[in-house]
Amino acid sequence: MLRSIAVALLSLFAGSALAVDTTFLLVNSTSSPINAMSISQTDMGMWSPNLLHGPIIPPGASRQIVIPASQLVCQVDMKLGFSDGAAPATWQYLNLCDLRKIQVFYDRYSGITTARYNE
């Protein structure tokens, strides 16, 4: 019995040691201030709660974003919300496991989203 408990505890600690948060730099190259960010496994449309904590990210500014290990999936879509009332915009097929920096662009008139990123 004691041995079973020890094995369970070791596996619990080993699993948590492997689970680490991931971070990347989000650069706002849109014309709108960003006030919300959610992720979803690619093409699933099941969005996380708002992962953007703190003040808005004004146009031209950037912020280090932390994705908790509990919500980390490598292949995601990212949705950003804007504080000026612009419609939310989505960027698809991002690999968060390798992402270090993403610069997002959004043409709100055409609805076209583009991004430059470094892995």
User: What pLDDT digit, counting tens, does each position of 33-71 carry?
Assistant: 999 999 999 999 999 999 998 899 999 999 999 988 887
Nearest Cα residue to 105 out of 118, 93, 119, 117: 117
The pairing of strands 62-67 and 22-28 is antiparallel
Instruction: Report the C-alpha gap between 104 and 89 in whole angstroms.
Output: 10
Is residue 40 within 8 A of residue 46, CB to CB? The reply is yes
pLDDT at 18: 59
Tokens at 89, concatenated: 């915009």
Q: What is the mean pLDDT of the chain?
A: 85
Architecture of the domain whose range is 21-118? Sandwich (2.60)
Q: Considering only CA atoms, which of 83, 102, 82, 107 is closest in space to residue 92?
A: 102
Q: Provide the pLDDT confidence category of residue 11 given band limits of 50, 70 and 90.
A: very low
Residue from 118, 43, 109 nearest 78 by CA: 43
Instruction: Give tens-digit pLDDT for 63-115.
Output: 999 988 887 789 999 999 999 988 899 999 999 989 999 999 998 888 888 99
Q: CA separation (Å) from 99 to 3, 26, 71, 93, 115?
A: 41, 10, 15, 11, 12
Whether pLDDT at 9 is above 90:
no
